[in-house]
Amino acid sequence: MASQITLNDGNTIPQLGFGVFKVDQAETERVVSTALEVGYRHIDTAAVYGNEEGVGAAIAASGIPREEIFVTTKLWNADQGTDSARRALETSLGKLGLDSVDLYLIHWPRPDQDRYVESWQTLAQLRDEGLTRSIGVSNFHEPHLQRLLDETDVVPAVNQIELHPAFAQRPLRAFGTEHGIHTEAWGPLGQGKYDLFSDVPVADAAAAHGVSPAQVVIRWHLQNGIIVFPKSVTPERIAQNFDVFGFVLSDEEIAAIDGLDRGLRVGADPETAVF
Ligand code: NAD
């Protein structure tokens, strides 16, 4: 059973969830239905993924009470701003078929647009109105977070960032801890963009515990206190990625995987990303 983490606003979030980046709209309902059957109760989507309708359809079809499923979606870059952010959340809620989400994130800071502070104030307003229970950010570097702390009175509940063993983001995680901002990992398995599963500490731990390398890496995230939502469209892997509570990595195993950190960013750099 996935444990719950309490956010700085008092709301709780299941630490292990399911991500749907790059899942086709046509496939999303099936994939999310499988995840809900397996036991996931936390789904991470975004307006730009184009599959919020599929997520909503799976939730509706599941018969699981709404309050038992934690749903995150995200404000796309082109929609940053006061009125546009409000319209964007209303559009997402319409597609999801929900009255509110559990977490709404600014997807990327896009410092070149210089609208993330204004967008953040709007998200705070939307939270106060009950359209989202918690608010946070994604892909924010320390200076972007610092600006929100300096210029507004609302601390993000989470910062969702690229994070996997070769890109462990220790300084940004420490900054989050200092300010009560929980870190969420995207690309927790490195998005399959490097051979993480053959790295010796991962492969050795998998052999020692009789589990897959993916399960070891998910465990590494959980034992580091990180909120994590691996993605798969394969039913066996969806189940496997949730079956991570029957073993515990030792301190030595965690330390060995920590040692894989080499600053290997596989996605865009938020400081310069312009999509
Ligand atoms: P991921 O690291 O979860 O990698 C997914 C890939 O790993 C799959 O496509 C599959 O090829 C492989 N995989 C999954 N389970 C496996 C298993 N058991 N064995 C072997 N291979 C396996 O990458 P991701 O999907 O990019 O990240 C997870 C979630 O994070 C996304 O779905 C999305 O919700 C979120 N995300 C957010 C941002 C952002 O900018 N905020 C960016 C990317 C992703």
Residue closest by Cα to atom 8 of ligand 1: 232
> In a mutational test of the pocket of ligand 1, which residue from 20, 186, 240, 269 has the highest number of ligand atoms less than 8 Å from its CB?
186
* Burial class, 68, CB count within 10 angstroms (exposed 0-12 / middle 13-18 / buried 19+): exposed
Strands 12-14 and 4-6 come out as antiparallel
Tens-level pLDDT at each residue, the chain (275 residues): 679 999 999 999 999 999 999 999 999 999 999 999 999 999 999 999 999 999 999 999 999 999 999 999 999 999 999 999 999 999 999 999 999 999 999 999 999 999 999 999 999 999 999 999 999 999 999 999 999 999 999 999 999 999 999 999 999 999 999 999 999 999 999 999 999 999 999 999 999 999 999 999 999 999 999 999 999 999 999 999 999 999 999 999 999 999 999 999 999 999 999 88
| Per-residue model confidence as pLDDT tens digits over 130-163 | 999 999 999 999 999 999 999 999 999 999 999 9
User: Which helix (H) or strand (E) segment is 179 a member of?
Assistant: helix 170-179
Distance 233 CA to ligand 1 centre (A): 10
What is the SS3 assignment for 158?
strand
- Of 205, 209, 197, 203, the closest CA to residue 166 belongs to 197
Residue located nearest, by CA, to atom 30 of ligand 1: 186
Can you list the domains of the chain with their CATH numbers? 4-258 (3.20.20.100)
Q: Active-site residue 104, yes or no? A: no
Name the helix (H) or strand (E) containing 232: none
Name the helix (H) or strand (E) containing 188.
Answer: none
Structure confidence by residue, pLDDT tens digits, 188-199: 999 999 999 999
Q: Is 94 in the pocket of ligand 1 (CB under 6 A)?
A: no
Torsion angle (degrees, nearest 10) of CA 115, 91, 99, 65: -110
Task: State the number of CA atoms in the 13 A half-sphere of 230 facing the CB.
Answer: 27
Q: Are 117 and 152 in contact (CB under 8 A)?
A: yes
Point out the ligand 1 atom lying closest to the alpha carbon of residue 44: 34
